[in-house]
Structure 1
Amino acid sequence: MVASTVGLLLTLVATTMLLAANASYLNTGASTRVDDSGRFALAILAQSIRQAGYHDNAGTPAVEPAAITGLDAASLRPRRLHRPSMPAEANRSDVLLIHFTGSADGAIVNCAGFDETGEHAWSIFYVAKADDGEAELRCKYKGASSWASDAIVRGVDSFQVLYGIDTDTPRDGIANQYLTASTIAALDGEIDPVGATAEERDRDRAQKSNWRRVVAVRVALLLHGEFGSRPPGSLLQRYELFEGEPAVDEAMMPTPLQRRVRRVFTATYAVRNL
């Protein structure tokens, strides 16, 4: 009887240690993969943002549309540019649109890594769900014959973007405030364009757009790992990526999503080609 009791206790201890070791293994592996995914996503975003507004010919006038634009709480269709937008996926994630000019020598690439040689090239970042329901940060670009969209990283809880505006006159290239896309759109709605014709007024409004004052872009990305990768006993958290932006509350998530390790990745990038 005593031997049986001791044996059961040893089995229980061994099982507990095995479960703890397995949980630690899952957490360590998932954390590493989430960190790698976050760094990779930020690297792609950095490369794309820094070439926004690039011109192969230095004498080319300001591009139409603006080098950097965006949409708040929206998603996109894979085969269309960006209008009309779709309802947001993954906690009201944003859309970031980057316009630039290709290069004849193949030195300029889009967010998918393909050479761009045309007059109008795009790298567009947005969040959408894959066929299995997992939210992905996607890169959208103009392919040889149509628009294409590739996943950059999976396991996205939120993708938020703020835009650094240079409000000085004359401009000094330094961001004075960081605004959401909706705020910039509202400011553009207050512009009183001049011109004798509707076409002239549209052109004047486009030239005066506050999107042309964007000198920096601030991004935040919340990623999660595999099911069961959350450290045992850890408290649920509430993530506010940017002040005033939609927060992500783990307590409001389904249980399978709660049991995952999470990381927040943030970065600010200068727009070089003003």
Structure 2
Amino acid sequence: MRRSQQRMRGLTLIELLVAMVIGLVIVLAAVAALTVARRGFNTVDAASQLRDSGRFAADLIQRVGAQTGYRDVFIAAGLASEDATREANLGGFNNALLDATNPTTASTARTASVVGYGSDILILRYQASQLYSNSEDSTKAAVADQTMIDCAGNTVASVPNPKDADPSQVAQAYDRRIVSIFHVAISQGEPALMCTYSSTGAAPWTTVPVIQGVENFQVLYGVDGVTANAAPAAPTAVPDVPDSYLRADQMTVAGSANNTKANWRRVRSIRIGMVLRSAPGSSQDMAAQTFWPFGAAKGSATGEAGTAFANSNDMGTSFQPTPDGRLRQTVSFTIHLRNDQGL
């Protein structure tokens, strides 16, 4: 019986404690590995979403930007000359919040405490294209070919169908342009690239979010023969290549609305820069960072990357967000305006 009792003896307390410690170490190692894998997955997923959002934003703005200044052939043929008092096809505001009532003519300056500080407003105008017109009855609208969209992706069903012999009707029809406005505002608690649009260029205006997480939106305008805050010089030839890039506030000529509009008609390209951010907790790096929305080009051979378009008078061209555990990505590109803006 003594031998049987010895064979049936269990673990000692020390052995049990050792086994528990070993098991706890294994569990902690598994939890740590799972946490690291989870954080890595979140980072990779957030980076992928940022790239997708950046590509979509660039594709949309480029498509709408390429439409800027388009005139339907039936209306362009009836315009004898460009009216200097007519609103230009391009416009914008620097470091501004959109005015919901008068989005094309008024804005509010952003303050440093507002999310999206330094972000600009871009205003684009263009006509829809006719599929065919009703030449027998000019009171009826012409059918649109559905190729022109606003910044929300909407098309229009019809466009004005003026009498070619009546210049006033042609001018009124030309003024009825699609307006797409890109700007930054808060949507569902996050900064977003917003689209405000009108199919007629007048109220009612509709605003919808386009891309979530855009906290910095910068615009520069490539102009030909324009000096900041001065009337444009008379062109010696048909201008189509920009020789400098200006901010929206540099296009304004004090006391002369017509000269301001003339400056906007000299825009030949648009330079866009954005900073997009992911959801909180997606970044494993909490260090402070500086972002250059207009890209990595240097202002000089010895300059820091990104300083080519950065300016202390243009808030947001050098962007330093508070470290908050978010991934961020810059997107920059240039749109060449292929349509005549009406000199």
TM range (shorter): 0.7 to 0.9
Structure 1 alignment gaps of length 5 or more: 192-201
**1:30·1:261 contact (CA, 8 Å) conserved in 2?**
yes
Deviations 1:6-49 (A, max 9, x none): 22222221111111100111111111111111111111101111
| Cα distance change of structure 1 residues 62 and 6 upon mapping to structure 2, 3 Å threshold | farther
Measured after TM superposition, the shift of residue 233 of structure 1 is 3.6
Q: How far apart are residue 77 of structure 1 and its match? A: 3.6
Give the Cα separation in 2 of the matches to 1:99 and 1:240.
28
CA shift digits 1:190-246 (9 cap, x unpaired): 86xxxxxxxxxx55x356x2111100001011111112111x246331113241142
Residues 161 and 206 of structure 1, relative CA distance in 2, 3 Å threshold: closer
- Asked if 1:147 is matched to 2:199, the reply is no
% identity of equivalent residues: 28
Tell whether 2:287 aligns with 1:235: yes
Structure 2 equivalent of residue 248 of structure 1: 319
> Which amino acid in the other structure matches residue 254 of structure 2?
G
Counterparts of 2:105 and 2:249, CA distance in 1: 15
Quick one: distance in 2 between partners of 1:102 and 1:65?
A: 17
Which among 318, 321, 330 is matched to residue 264 of structure 1?
330
Q: Does 1:74 align with 2:126?
A: no
Letter in 2 for 1:237: Q
Cα distance in 2 for partners of 1:25, 1:78 equals 40
In 2, Cα distance between equivalents of 1:100 and 1:142 = 11
1:107-256 correspondence to structure 2 within 5 Å: 107-116=147-156, 117=159, 119-130=176-187, 132-142=188-198, 146-167=204-225, 169-185=236-252, 188-189=253-254, 203=258, 205=259, 209-230=262-283, 232-233=284-285, 235-242=287-294, 243-244=310-311, 245=314, 246=316, 247-250=318-321, 253=322
Q: TM-score, normalised by structure 2?
A: 0.68
1:165/1:177 contact within 8 Å kept: yes
> Quick one: which amino acid aligns to residue 179 of structure 2?
W
1:164-195 deviations in whole A, cap 9, x for unaligned?
0112632431111111111222xx2386xxxx
Point out 4+ residue stretches in structure 1 off by more than 4 angstroms: none
Matched positions, count: 253
Q: 2:108 aligns with which of 72, 76, 86?
A: 86
Over 3 Å counting, the alpha-carbon distance change for 1:233 and 1:128 in structure 2 is: closer
SS at match of 1:33: helix
CA-CA distance at 1:157 after TM superposition: 1.6
- Counterpart contact for 1:157–1:224, Cα < 8 Å: yes
Q: TM-score, normalised by structure 1?
A: 0.84
- What residue number does 1:55 align with? 71
Instruction: Say whether the 8 Å CA contact 1:91–1:248 is kept in structure 2.
Output: no
**Greater helix share, 1 or 2?**
1
The 3-state SS of whatever aligns with 2:265 is helix
Task: Specify the structure having the higher radius of gyration (Cα).
Answer: 2
Task: Tell me how large the CA RMSD over aligned residues is.
Answer: 2.2
Q: Which blocks of at least 5 consecutive residues in structure 2 are unaligned?
A: 1-16, 131-143, 161-175, 226-234, 295-309
